[in-house]
């Protein structure tokens, strides 16, 4: 069972990356919080890994902080919350906000995540309220470069939001509102973050 990987960052996108570990490329699914803090391509990075075994595949999920991984694992213990949905939660809510929302039973905040209805949000709050206190939110060190390394940040942001479960039309409209509100060019990670805020507002 793979629990930790250190290697060269060979590829990165908002929802996954490829880590070159001594010539072997590992495809790892990640939340946006991890993506925002990744270093530049070809630099060395280390990830906390969860190995998810399915009948037809082995999937790796990676996190820059142990608290992200712990939060992910807790979320997947809730009925109806699989790995993909757990990643969506972590992509929409920082660990500190997630912990606070669960502890205060803020169902409205939890339900802003795409794919999480009020019933699921209620289950998350109920089942994890006594467990999230053990998680110590650790700092995620931000990348020194704001340049995401993509051409066409709008299309990449749209792809990221659709992969998080939002409808293409809704995601497109949200990104249009963001680009209209910002006069200067906006980098990919900020475009995704602001797009998520617009979608949460409805």
Domain that holds residue 28: 4-63
Model pTM?
0.72
Q: Is the pLDDT of residue 138 over 70?
A: no
Residues 158 and 180 in one domain: yes
- 36 within 8 A of 92, measured Cβ to Cβ: no
Please report which confidence band the pLDDT of residue 202 belongs to, taking 50, 70 and 90 as the band edges: low
Q: What's the rounded mean pLDDT across residues 59-76?
A: 93
Please indicate, yes or no, whether residues 99 and 115 belong to a single structural domain of this protein.
yes
Confidence at 42, pLDDT banded by 50, 70, 90? very high
Instruction: List, as one string, the DSSP characters of 31-97.
Output: -HHHHHT---TTSEEEEEEEEEE-SS-EEEEEESSHHHHHHHHHHTTSTT--HHHHHHHHHHS-HHH
Of 46-50, 75-79, 90-94, 178-182, which range is least confident?
A: 178-182
| 58 plus 81 within the same structural domain | no
Q: Considering the domain boundaries, does residue 147 fall inside one?
A: no
Q: Is residue 170 part of a domain?
A: yes
Number of domains observed in the structure of the chain:
3
Sign of the CA dihedral 200, 108, 82, 143? positive
- Structure tokens belonging to residue 142: 């931000």
CATH number at 75 reads: 1.10.150.20
Q: Which two tokens stand for residue 125?
A: 């709050």
């Amino acid at each position: 069972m793979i629990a930790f990987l250190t290697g060269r960052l060979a590829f990165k996108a908002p929802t996954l990356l490829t880590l070159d570990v001594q010539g072997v490329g590992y495809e790892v699914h990640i939340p946006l919080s991890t993506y925002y803090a990744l270093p530049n391509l070809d630099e060395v990075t280390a990830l906390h890994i969860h190995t998810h075994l399915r009948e037809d595949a082995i999937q790796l999920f990676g996190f820059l902080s142990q608290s992200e991984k712990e939060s992910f694992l807790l979320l997947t213990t809730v009925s109806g919350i699989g790995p993909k949905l757990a990643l969506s939660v972590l992509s929409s809510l920082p660990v500190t906000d997630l912990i606070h929302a669960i502890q205060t039973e803020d169902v409205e905040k939890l339900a802003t995540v795409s794919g999480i209805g009020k019933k699921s949000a209620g289950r998350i709050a109920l089942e994890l309220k006594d467990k999230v206190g053990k998680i110590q939110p650790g700092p995620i060190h931000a990348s020194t470069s704001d340049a995401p390394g993509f051409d066409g940040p709008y299309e990449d942001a749209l792809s990221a939001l659709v992969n998080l479960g939002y409808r293409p039309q809704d995601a497109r409209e949200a990104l249009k509102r963001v680009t209209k509100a910002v006069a200067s060019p906006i980098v990919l990670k900020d475009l995704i973050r602001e797009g998520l805020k617009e979608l949460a507002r409805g």
